[in-house]
Amino acid sequence: FQSVRLNLRDNLEKLNQYRGISLLPVRGDVDSFTRNRVLIDRNYFMGLATLAKDLHVASAIGYLEEMYMGLSGEILYRPFDQNWAVGIETALAFKRDPYSFSALAPNGDHILSGFLNGYYEVPNTGTTIKASAGRFLAGDVGGTVGISNQFKNGVILSASLSASNYADRDVYGGKTNVYTGIQLSLPLGSLSFMPEGSRMVTTATPLGRDTAQRLDNPTNLYERTESLSYRHITRHWSQFSPDRNRQP
């Protein structure tokens, strides 16, 4: 899988007005990455497999996201007839050097990160509650709780809260161990000139933080198995059955 990012314009250099310069940045040097007008965002090889009934695994190696390269792995147990799932994800992540060509070279920093994930689907809805606990990219430990809702038109609205045992500067100049964020994902597959499955994603979350930061997981087995889940099939049964009035 490969993706390229084109940065038309930004004002991220102003981040230094609100926080100090990080000596060992995790995402505190996000403004440096924007200096590459064209950046290879992701470029990795990925493998997916189902080891047994409801048990899925995935691994990826390469440039996993904008700021990190390395190796990641994930395992997910998602019973078809249940509204819960559990999984483990881990990654050996190497920080990319923003001053190298297209940030392709590592800068020497690396970290082993991992999380235990739990999911709960609210019955008869498109709502999912997720909780995670583990080790973040700065070596700090903590967890994340989140809630998301997928509407029948494909729009996904989600919110999350992360807490860490390390503190970082907040937007008011103080210190905080807690971060929040929201995200809106809009499907674009109905547009004739867009590939099927395309989405426009808008995220509002604190920028340039070094604590409570996770790798942007390229495998994400829970999302990849959603279209095969009992919930998805029952909510979209009319798309599978010629008799649209008949329920499974």
More confident residue, 137 or 209: 137
Closest CA relative to residue 83, chosen from 236, 235, 230, 234? 230
Q: What are phi and psi of 176, to 5 degrees?
A: -150, 150
Inform me whether the pLDDT recorded for 245 exceeds 60: no
Asked whether 71 and 59 are in contact (CB, 8 A), the reply is yes
Instruction: Work out the pLDDT band at 241, boundaries 50, 70, 90.
Output: low
- Token pair 């700065």 is at which residue? 138
- Token pair 């997981």 is at which residue? 217
Instruction: Work out the pLDDT band at 243, boundaries 50, 70, 90.
Output: low
Instruction: Work out the pLDDT band at 8, boundaries 50, 70, 90.
Output: confident
Closest CA relative to residue 120, chosen from 86, 157, 73? 86
pLDDT in tens, 85-110: 999 999 999 999 999 988 999 998 99
Q: What is the pLDDT of residue 248?
A: 53
Continuous segment of H or E residues that includes residue 33: helix 30-33
Closest CA relative to residue 171, chosen from 147, 205, 199? 205
Q: What is the DSSP letter of 20?
A: P
For residues 187 and 178, give the distance between their C-alpha atoms in angstroms, rounded to a whole number. Answer: 30
pLDDT in tens, 21-40: 777 889 988 888 888 888 89
DSSP labels for 180-237? EEEEEEEE-TTSTTS-TT-EEEEEE---S--SS-----S--HHHHTGGGSHHHHHHTG
For residues 232 and 240, give the distance between their C-alpha atoms in angstroms, rounded to a whole number. Answer: 11
For residues 208 and 194, give the distance between their C-alpha atoms in angstroms, rounded to a whole number. Answer: 31
pTM of the complete model: 0.89
Q: What is the pLDDT of residue 136?
A: 97
Closest CA relative to residue 232, chosen from 148, 147, 151? 151
Query: Would you state the structure tokens that stand for residue 6, as one six-digit string?
Result: 């084109």
Query: Would you state the structure tokens that stand for residue 137, as one six-digit string?
Result: 């990219």
pLDDT in tens, 109-144: 999 999 999 999 999 899 999 999 999 999 999 999
Continuous segment of H or E residues that includes residue 123: none
Phi-psi region at 98: left, alpha or beta (left = phi > 0; alpha = psi -120 to 50): alpha
